Every structure is written in C-alpha cells, then in structure tokens.
C-alpha cells in the first residue's frame, strides 16, 4: 500500500511524533510505501532516511503519488491532506482528549473510521461529536516491546527516581526533588527543554521508580519498573494491577484522581514500591499495547477501509477558515526560528486564543486569500484551491 501519514509537527521527541516515526518505520518494514506530511519538520526527519520514507512540508510534492489511504493525525493536517487527495479513503487518529488539534475535523472530510487511543477519547467522540460506535476503532497507545524490555533487575529498596517529562511543572519538580532528598534517593529528569535523550531505555533500566505520564508509563512498565503517574495534571499514584485499567481510562495522564502531592504524600507513594507490580501488569502491556500487534491491527483496518471505498466529503464555503488561520499562526511563529518548536506544547492554549481573535478579524474569505498571497509560506500553493471553494 501507498500510505500517507499526516502529523502537525515532526521535529521533537514528543508523543505523537514518536508514534508517527515508529508507525512509519514499521509499516515500511512490512513492505508498504510510506509518505509523511507535516507543516513543521525538524531534525527528527533524519531518523527516516535509511528506511526510504519520504517526508515533506508541501503536499504538492506528493500530488503524483497514487495514495491508497490517508492515516491522518491532527485535524488541521487532515484538512490539508483532503484538499490534495479529495477521493482517497481516510482514517483519523486521536491521541488526546484535551488538545484542540486532537478533536475531529470541523468539516466533513469523508473519514471512514476514527481511531482512538483511550476509553476516554472513545466516549468523548461518541457523546460530544455523536460519532457512531461502529465508526470508532480503539487501539491503545503502543510501545515497542523489542526496544523497551528489562535489562536489569530493580533494587529491593529504591535508590533512584527518574522523571520522564516534556512538560514538568516547577511545583511538581520541587515536590519530587524535596521528597527524594528527604529519603536519600537519587533524582534525574529526562525530557524537554534541557535534557532530551534519544535512547531512554537505558535511563529507565538504570532507575527503580519512574515518575511520568502517558507513553512513558507504558515504556517504563515494559521494562518492569515501578511507575508513579504524576505530572502537570496532578497524580494518579503508583500503577498496580488493581488500578491499571482505571488509570488507563484517562491515558495515564494524572487526570483520573488529580491528586496534589505534598512532599510527604509522594514519600508515602514511593514506599509502596514493589518489584512484583510491573510483572503482574506485563500481560496487559503485551496484549493491548505491543507495537507489533497494533501495527497489524492498523494494516487490517487500512485494508477494510480501502475495500469499502471512499466516503464523499461535504465541505461548505467558509468552513476551512478556522483551520487555515491556525496554520497561518503556526507558520508565522516558527518559520524562521525552529528552536522555538519545543515551546509549542506549553503555549498551545495561547495559540488557540490567538486563533479565535484572528478568526473574528477575518471579514471575508477574500481577506484570507489576500493574506495568503502576501505570506510566503508553505500553503501559498492552496490559494487557487481556496478560490474555487470560496
């Protein structure tokens, strides 16, 4: 198959970008031709070179490719892909409950199936967006079990805490450091902005307790490490066989219980340390979260969607304005300074507010076209298409 994957940005070692990289590489290994579109591309793209995976920030480069299916992530890039491939079957995958870009596109793109990575997102899509259950496919977040595996046995008494986070809150960090100091446990933080590491497997296996959320929870459990869910949204505590499914509902985000730890609260949680905890959970990790299994599920889904054929989209005049203005804001913010990309996740809410203001200021679709003509950025090529739509 010729598979086009879209992602909002492909530059740093964050959740959806890591997933996109692993998905593309494993699809390629299974004999598929993989193409990636992202409006913001950084150094992470070099990891794809040896696999002959093409990546571009300009969909015009793929216009001559016979794409069999679009695996879209993030609503704005799904719309961009649809504008170039109006008759290609499409699936849409959501990795998060809160971010605006993880919500279904605001216009009907003829999406065949919606892939969700947690029970929370599944219920959100059904209840808020009225998407039929039959159109929703749940494939939990994936971990590469060939990479993330135990290479050592944890200490009987914990000696080192590793914090895996790209969003570490200063107050959370203060609590963790104080707790570790009080009970004489070594502390290390890996993640944005100052200590990004490509190979975190080694860091995990050299630690006893991992404090993290999301994907980091699965990767650490796969290495048979004790995990405490604690970060910007609060704490869900030490992951055990008894609370695994409850905490997974909210994608190990800390939003299940939203506990606000004090130094002593965290020390009590650390003292629950037990080397048998992750071993009991491993079966669930292997069955529901193994990357190989989930890649096969996706390939089977692609095949059935292609067999069913394209579902016609219904894009009405003016409905694309919001998404294109969002892209304009992102491009304006980053086009000459890619070092600021690491700030995007922290400032996503500010971007959304800017988007709302900018959208209100647009007097007509003609104003948007004029802006786009003046702006030397990657979607100038869509001007002619916009003229036809509007």
| Beta bridge pairs of residue 4 | 35, 70
Question: Which single residue is written with the structure tokens 């048979």?
Answer: 224
Condensed to tens digits (0 to 9), the pLDDT of residues 254-263 reads 999 999 999 9
CA 16, 47, 138: angle at the middle one, nearest 5? 30
Q: Dihedrals φ, ψ of 353, to 5°?
A: -65, -40
Structure tokens at 35: 């193409």
Distance CA 311, CA 90 (A): 9
The distance from CA 107 to its chain's CA centroid, rounded to whole angstroms, is: 21
Tell me which residue of 9, 169, 228, 196 sits closest to 99, measured CA to CA.
Answer: 9
pLDDT at residue 293 in the model = 96
Condensed to tens digits (0 to 9), the pLDDT of residues 203-254 reads 999 999 999 999 999 999 999 999 999 999 999 999 999 999 999 999 999 9
Distance CA 290, CA 148 (A): 10
pLDDT at residue 364 in the model = 45
CA distance to 200, 256, 335, per residue, from 20 (Å): 18, 26, 22
Structure tokens at 242: 């008894």
Number of Cβ atoms within 10 Å of the Cβ of 60? 13
Provide the CB-side half-sphere exposure for 8 (13 A, CA).
29
pLDDT at residue 202 in the model = 95
Q: Is 210 helix (H, G, I), strand (E, B) or coil?
A: strand
Q: What is the number of residues in the chain?
A: 390
User: For the chain, what is the radius of gyration of the CA atoms?
Assistant: 22
Q: Is 389 helix (H, G, I), strand (E, B) or coil?
A: helix
pLDDT at residue 349 in the model = 46
285 neighbors 221 (Cβ within 8 angstroms): yes
pTM of the entire predicted model = 0.80
Number of Cβ atoms within 10 Å of the Cβ of 304? 12
Tell me which residue of 16, 40, 106 sits closest to 379, measured CA to CA.
Answer: 40
Largest CA distance in the chain: 68
CA 327, 333, 337: angle at the middle one, nearest 5? 125
Q: What is the DSSP string of 77-105?
A: HHHHHHHH-TTS-EEEEE--SS-GGGSPP
pLDDT at residue 84 in the model = 87
CA 169, 172, 178: angle at the middle one, nearest 5? 140
pLDDT at residue 345 in the model = 41
Structure tokens at 181: 């100091």
pLDDT at residue 313 in the model = 74
**Which residues of the chain fall below pLDDT 70?**
314-390
pLDDT at residue 198 in the model = 75
Tell me which residue of 97, 82, 88, 120 sits closest to 15, measured CA to CA.
Answer: 97
């Amino acid at each position: 198959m010729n598979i086009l994957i879209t992602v909002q940005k492909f530059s740093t070692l964050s959740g959806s970008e890591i997933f996109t990289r692993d998905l593309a590489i494993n699809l390629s290994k299974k004999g598929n031709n993989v193409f990636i579109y992202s409006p913001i591309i950084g150094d992470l793209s070099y990891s794809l070179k040896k696999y002959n995976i093409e990546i571009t920030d300009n969909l015009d480069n793929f216009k001559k490719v016979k794409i069999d299916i679009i695996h879209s992530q993030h609503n704005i890039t799904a719309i961009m892909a649809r504008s170039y491939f109006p008759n290609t079957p499409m699936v849409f995958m959501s990795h998060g409950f809160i971010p605006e870009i993880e919500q279904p596109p605001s216009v009907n793109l003829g999406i065949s199936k919606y892939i969700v990575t947690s029970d929370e997102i599944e219920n959100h899509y059904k209840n808020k967006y009225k998407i039929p259950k039959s159109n929703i496919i749940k494939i939990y977040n994936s971990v590469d079990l060939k990479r993330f595996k135990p290479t050592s046995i944890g200490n009987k008494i914990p000696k080192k805490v590793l914090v895996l986070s790209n969003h570490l809150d200063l107050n959370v960090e203060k609590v963790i450091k104080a707790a570790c100091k009080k009970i004489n446990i070594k502390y290390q933080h890996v993640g944005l902005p100052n200590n990004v590491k490509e190979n975190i497997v080694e860091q995990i296996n050299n630690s006893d307790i991992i404090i993290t959320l999301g994907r980091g929870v699965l990767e650490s459990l796969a290495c048979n490490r004790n995990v405490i869910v604690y970060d910007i949204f609060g704490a869900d505590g030490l992951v055990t066989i008894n609370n695994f499914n409850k905490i997974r509902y909210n994608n190990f985000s800390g939003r299940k219980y939203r506990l606000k730890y004090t130094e002593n609260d965290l020390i009590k949680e650390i003292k629950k340390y037990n080397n048998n905890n992750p071993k009991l959970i491993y079966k669930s990790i292997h069955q529901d979260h193994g990357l190989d299994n989930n890649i096969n599920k996706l390939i089977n889904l692609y095949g059935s969607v292609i067999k069913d054929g394209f579902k016609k989209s219904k894009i009405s005049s003016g409905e694309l304005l919001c998404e294109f203005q969002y892209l304009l804001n992102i491009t304006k913010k980053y086009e000459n300074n890619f070092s600021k990309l690491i700030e995007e996740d922290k400032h996503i809410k500010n971007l959304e507010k800017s988007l709302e203001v900018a959208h209100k200021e647009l007097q007509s679709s003609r104003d948007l076209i004029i802006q786009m003509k003046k702006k030397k950025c990657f979607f100038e090529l869509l001007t002619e298409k916009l003229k036809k739509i509007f």
